Amino acid sequence: MKFFLDSARVDEIAYGLEMWNLDGVTTNPRHVQAAGKPFLVAIREIAGLFQGTDKPISVEVNPHHSDHRAMVAEAEKLAAISPNFVIKLPATEAGFKAVAVLKEQGIRSNLTLVFSAGQALQAMRMGACFVSPFIGWKEANGEETRGLIEEIVAIRDNYGFATEIIVAAVRNGRQVVDAAVAGADIVTAGFDVYKELFDHPYTHLGLARFAAFWDQTPYE
């Protein structure tokens, strides 16, 4: 499974690349706003961290766009900034259409705000490079999500679509593991989620005990 960081903060991304060997990054308007920089400044700085790699960076078009032609026009400008950029589009009729147009131009897309297997299916049919089902939001409303991921994986595999599945809006380590068990290709999560996922109190307890034994044993 690939790990993407869901962030637009350069310090978090740089840390993740160095310490966790991140496979990519996803951003959205909330993350860019939290970074405290203009949109283009923020995404260009992120692109600089990935220069010379083939790791994808998802950047989102203006969410006010409701016409596929406006989405495509902005996508073309964003894609020209960095070869790492993958264009995030909403799972709407206009977004699906924009995916097909961009595919013909060789521009990769990531269909975001996916909440059903039907939306994911249409994204794959239209040629999305990535599809991002959101699980955190659904679970917050009492909906089961592991079955959703399994359905999307099965649909992709049944028809041989090339789309990679990014499980998004991940809130805890259990959801990361569930996504892996369900067969998702990628999970994208925030910095704190990964910090917790890679840690466990029993590891520290065991290390402290082993250190005590080590200190009581001659080295030579």
What tens digit of pLDDT does each residue of 20-30 get? 999 999 999 99
Q: Does residue 88 have an active-site annotation?
A: yes
Is residue 57 one of the residues assigned to a domain?
Answer: yes
Is residue 146 one of the residues assigned to a domain?
Answer: yes
Domain count within the chain:
1
Query: Up-side HSE of residue 108: CA atoms within 13 Å toward CB?
Result: 18
pLDDT the model gives residue 137: 87
Q: In terms of pTM, does the model score above 0.85?
A: yes
- Helix or strand run (H / E) with residue 114: strand 109-114
Is residue 220 one of the residues assigned to a domain?
Answer: no
Band of residue 220 on the pLDDT scale cut at 50, 70, 90? very high
pLDDT the model gives residue 145: 87
Q: Are 79 and 107 in contact (CB under 8 A)?
A: yes
What tens digit of pLDDT does each residue of 168-187 get? 999 999 999 999 999 999 99
SS3 per residue for 38-61: CHHHHHHHHHHHCCCCCCCEEEEC
How far apart are alpha carbons 62 and 32 in whole angstroms? Answer: 12
What tens digit of pLDDT does each residue of 95-111 get? 999 999 999 999 999 99
Tokens of 99: 């995916």
Burial of residue 24 (CB within 10 Å: 0-12, 13-18, 19+) is buried
pLDDT the model gives residue 143: 86
Catalytic-role residue among 2, 37, 88, 138: 88
What tens digit of pLDDT does each residue of 86-145 get? 999 999 999 999 999 999 999 999 999 999 999 999 999 999 999 999 998 888 888 888
Q: At CA 82, angle to CA 79 and CA 88, rounded to 5?
A: 45
Is residue 38 one of the residues assigned to a domain?
Answer: yes
For position 191, which CATH number holds?
3.20.20.70
How far apart are alpha carbons 182 and 168 in whole angstroms? Answer: 14
pLDDT the model gives residue 112: 98
The rounded percent of the chain whose pLDDT value lies above 70 is 100
Query: Measured in whole angstroms, how far is the alpha carbon of residue 71 from the centre of its chain?
Result: 20
Is residue 77 one of the residues assigned to a domain?
Answer: yes
Show the domain range for 207. Answer: 2-215
pLDDT the model gives residue 139: 86
